């Protein structure tokens, strides 16, 4: 139908482009649209991962056997992961939390913000336990709950070794 229309084109990672076109009766019209790319291909580093850790033997709280609180040793859960930023550079993220609390990675006050969408592998450890990993799929702009991680106590010797 003849008239004036607004043509639009959109593509993920680009700003939507618009152009007016006038079509005469029985005719065709063409328009050139320039789509401007969005920094980071439209991806936002706004996601976070939260989770909890337990003792695999008891399904209870981590106790960090063998630590000496009198020497200033504290029982903390450490979570470490690799994450890419918008420039493609890889950074190592590490957070600690008390065994009875939930961890969040990256930390809420991380100056680089949250995570980009993707599949991440977290390494979870605590003194007196074997480290383990958990994979978490992270969408954009979400707080994702990781599966609970159960840590097994590290092997230890009791008694005298001859």
pLDDT tens digits, 76-105: 999 999 998 877 789 999 999 999 999 999
pLDDT of residue 39: 63
Give CA–CA dist 152/134, Å, rounded.
Answer: 14
Burial class (CB in 10 A: 0-12, 13-18, 19+), 84: middle
pLDDT of residue 42: 67
Structure tokens, 49? 């991962």
pLDDT of residue 78: 97
Q: What's the first-to-final CA gap in the chain, in angstroms? A: 96
pTM: 0.72
Give CA–CA dist 48/115, Å, rounded.
Answer: 6
Strand boundaries in 58-141, DSSP class E: 77-84, 90-97, 103-105, 118-125, 132-138
Pairing label, strands 77-84, 118-125: antiparallel
């Amino acid at each position: 139908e003849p008239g004036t229309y607004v043509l639009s084109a959109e593509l993920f990672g680009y700003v939507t482009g618009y152009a007016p076109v006038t079509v005469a009766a029985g005719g065709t019209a063409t328009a050139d649209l320039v789509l401007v790319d969005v920094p980071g291909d439209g991806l936002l580093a706004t996601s976070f991962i939260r989770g909890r850790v337990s003792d695999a033997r008891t399904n209870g709280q981590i106790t960090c056997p063998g630590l000496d609180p009198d020497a200033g040793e504290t029982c903390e859960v450490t979570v470490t992961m690799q994450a890419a930023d918008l420039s493609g550079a890889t950074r190592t993220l590490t957070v600690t939390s008390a065994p009875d609390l939930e961890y969040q990675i990256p930390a809420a006050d991380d100056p680089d913000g949250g995570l980009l969408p993707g599949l991440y592998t977290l390494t979870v450890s605590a003194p007196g336990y074997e480290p383990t990993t958990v994979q978490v799929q992270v969408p954009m702009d979400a707080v994702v709950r990781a599966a609970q991680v159960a840590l097994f106590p590290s092997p230890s010797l009791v008694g005298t070794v001859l």
